[in-house]
Structures are given as C-alpha cells and as structure tokens.
Amino acid sequence: MAHAARVMPGGNTRTTSFHPPYPVVIERADGAWLWDVDQRRYLDLFCNGLSLIHGNNYAPAREAMQAAIQRGTAWAGASHPQIAFAESLQDRIRAMQLVRFTNSGSEAGMLAVKAARHVTGRPYIVKSIGAYHGSYPDLEAGLYGQGDVEGRALVAPFNDLASFERVMALHGPKVAAIVIEPVLVTGRVVPPAPNFLSDLQSLARRHGALTILDDCLMLRLAVGGSAEYFSLTPDLVVLGKFLGGGTPLGVFGGSREIMRIFDPTQRGCVFHGGSFNGNPVGCSAGIVTLRDLTVDRIAAMDAAGLVIRRALAEHAAELGLDVVISGIGSVAGIAFAADPMRHEDDPSALGVAALFHLACLSEGILIGPGGIMSLSTAHNSEALAHATAGLSAALEKVAELLASLD
Ligand SMILES: Cc1ncc(COP(=O)(O)O)c(C=O)c1O
C-alpha cells in the first residue's frame, strides 16, 4: 500500500472504492470470490460496485472477449458486435429506440444531460440530494456536501415530491431534465416511496422537461430494468456498470426524435466522440452478459438479496444494534444509527459502518464501503451460507466494540 501511495494520491485511483485505513490489494477473482496478494479469500459482496452481475471472471463473457480480441480491439468504424449489442438493448429497454455507446456510466450520464439541454434549449437539470451519477460536476450537485451548481443544477431531497414541486414551480421553464437515480445506493440504500418516481416523471412532463433515468445499477431489477420494474417511460436512459460484462462500457439512449440530434448525416448534429465507444471487445462481452440476465436468474438473485437482508435484520435485533437494513432486489444496505455521516461525504471517516466493513473483511467478506452489499448470479448456496455466517459474526464484533465504549 505504501508503494501505491507513492504513485497515486492516498494509494487510490477511485474515491468510491476507498475505505479506511486502506483498500485490500486484490490479486485475482473468480465467481463470487476474491483473493488478495496474501492469498486470503473473500466473498465478494460488492461486485466491483454492483458492476459484475454474473460475478468475477464470468466464463461466457471472457470467452466472447477472447474471441473478439483475436480480430482487434477497436477501430474507427461500425462492427457486428456493436450493432448486435445495440439491438439487444433496443429489444429489452423500450425507451431505447436509438443508442450511443460510451466508456463509462459517468460519460453516458453527461451526454444524456447534453442531449436534454440541446433538445429543450434549457440550462438546468434537477436531481436528488445523495443521488450518484458519476464524476461529472453538474451531476455531483447534492453530493459531497454540495448543493446546487449555479446556473446548471438544482437539487431536492429524494422521496420528497413537494420539494421537487417547489423547485419546478420556481425554475420549471429553465429545466431541461429531471435526472432520476431510481434507488439511492451511495452511502445508504434508499428505495423510492410508492409512486415517487412516476410522480417525478409527470412533474417533469408538466413543465416541458425531459426525464433521464440513470439505470446503471437498477437495470438489475428486471429484464427491461427499473423502467419496467417501476412502470416508467423515461425520455432518456443511461446504463453502465455491469453492462460491458466487466469491461468499461456505458450507453445512453432514447427516442428516435431525441437521439437523431447525434446523427452525423444531419447538418448541425451534436458532437459526441470517444475513441473506444462501442468497441467490439466490450460489446461482445455485453451481448452475452445481457443474454444471460434472464427473468429466472434475476428472481434467484433477488431471493438471495432477501436472505441477506433478513439475516442482517434478525441478528442485529438479537444483538440490540440500532441499524436500518434496507435494499431492493439483489442489493442490501446497512446503516448504523450512530453514524450521521454518509460514506461519500467523507470516505476517510471511521464511523461504525467503517468498523463493520473491517469486521466483514476479517470474516472473509468484502462489502462496499459505507455498508452496501450486492449479489450476482454467481452467488450460490455456499456463498450465501458464508455470507450469512460472516455478516452475523461481524455484527457481533461491532456490538462487542460498541458495548466496550459505553
Ligand atoms: C447510478 C450510477 N450512475 C452512474 C455511475 C457512474 O458510472 P461509472 O463509474 O462507470 O462512471 C455510477 C457508478 O457508481 C452509478 O452508481
């Protein structure tokens, strides 16, 4: 780690994966398991920030990539994998009539915002406090202790429709889009209140603004993603994370009418470059990754998510720990009442969640910093048994520690 800190600030190249005192140095990973450089094995309950839906080193994706690499890794032109992948997205996600590929979810979100501003001719976006959409300053409004971004982004609390209504009443004619993260997952897992998301969508429409659904994480909820799960009809959808089968790949898309602004055969088209957009390696991995994310596999992951949430809630209650266990589908979160701070507000903070995180590591489980957990289709009954036993033992360690401080 000292070696890493000589070449990267804090030895880290991704704030969202940092945890105190320093992250584990990982050597290899397979399925639901990871091994560090000291050959310690961990159950992967974070899946690279929810970005490995079939677990680590998923053989069909790896084989598709290996076959693609034989023919080259990227070129300035279309390719069969690119077209086939776009078709499979179009088949699954109704709102994606036309798509554009990017190299990350951040970039896809940024371009969806650019499209909304271009189409509406309006400057503002509106988003939820605490919603994470990647490393793009306008979409960082409402995070890391920041509020609005002057002239560009306005924020309101998640699950508080009245506050969004107030923002739109004041600024509606200048708002290009309401950007929705359907379930907050950064720091705390917060599912939406009934009808909150569809009410936001109606609010946007009433004011002539677009709805951008950031489904980077919640595509996992249904074959058609969270638009299907929550009965939404967004104007633009942003995807990333597990989409590229473990490779850096993002995409945004929407109606033909909106997306035609990027059509280079049209005069005055909106510019969108990217040397590796839709490269054949990522698209080949993405095709099999989506193909294998079936209704049955989603249901199995969701059932495993419920097992984890129940085990945590029951054991925490037995120990008298004041926690909120939340989640949806194959995602779970634990928040300790004693911790007012969200992880992303201060990644270096040593709160109770950070102690729980370290206790999990010593039980051979890697969860997300701040208490986020996710499953994949690779988490079988052996993995689940390891998870429930290890998470319970980690809760006991935290309870002992808290009792010793009283
Ligand atoms: C909801 C959401 N949107 C966008 C992003 C950004 O994606 P990337 O890390 O690929 O830039 C993330 C990453 O965590 C995310 O959770």
**Helix, strand, coil % (nearest 5) of the chain?**
45, 20, 40
Q: 97 in the Ramachandran plot: left (φ > 0), alpha (ψ -120 to 50) or beta? A: alpha
CA distances, 359 to each of 151, 194, 260, 318, 402 (Å): 44, 35, 51, 18, 13
- Contact criterion met (CB below 8 Å) for 212 and 127: no
> Is the shortest distance between the CB of 105 and ligand 1 below 6 Å?
yes
CA distance 406 to 404: 6
Q: Where in the chain is the domain with CATH 3.90.1150.10?
A: 2-53+295-405
Mutate to test the pocket of ligand 1, among 46, 106, 219 (most ligand atoms within 8 A of CB): 106
* CA 311 vs CA 127, 305, 325: distances in Å: 33, 10, 10
Q: Where in the chain is the domain with CATH 3.40.640.10?
A: 59-291
Query: In what side-by-side order are the strands of the sheet with 98-102?
Result: 98-102, 250-254, 236-239, 210-214, 175-180, 124-129, 153-157
- The CATH homologous superfamily to which domain 2-53+295-405 belongs is Aspartate Aminotransferase, domain 1 (3.90.1150.10)
For residue 162, the surrounding DSSP H or E stretch is: helix 161-171
Q: How far is the CA of 215 from the centre of ligand 1 (A)?
A: 9
The helix (H) or strand (E) run that includes residue 239 is: strand 236-239
Tens digit of pLDDT at every position of the chain (406 positions): 788 889 999 888 888 888 888 889 999 999 999 999 999 999 999 999 999 999 999 999 999 999 999 999 999 999 999 999 999 999 999 999 999 999 999 999 999 999 999 999 999 999 999 999 999 999 999 998 899 999 999 999 999 999 999 999 999 999 999 999 999 998 789 999 999 999 999 999 999 999 999 999 999 999 999 999 999 999 999 999 999 999 999 999 999 999 999 999 999 999 999 999 999 999 999 999 999 999 999 999 999 999 999 999 999 999 999 999 999 999 999 999 888 766 667 777 778 999 999 999 999 999 998 899 999 999 999 999 999 999 999 999 999 998 998 7
> Tokens 């010593």 belong to which residue?
362
What lies within 8 Å, CB to CB, of 389 at 6+ separation is 363
Give, for ligand 1, the residue of 133, 158, 226 to mutate: max count of ligand atoms closer than 8 Å to Cβ: 133
Q: 59-291 belongs to which CATH class?
A: alpha beta
357 lines ligand 1 (CB under 6 A): no
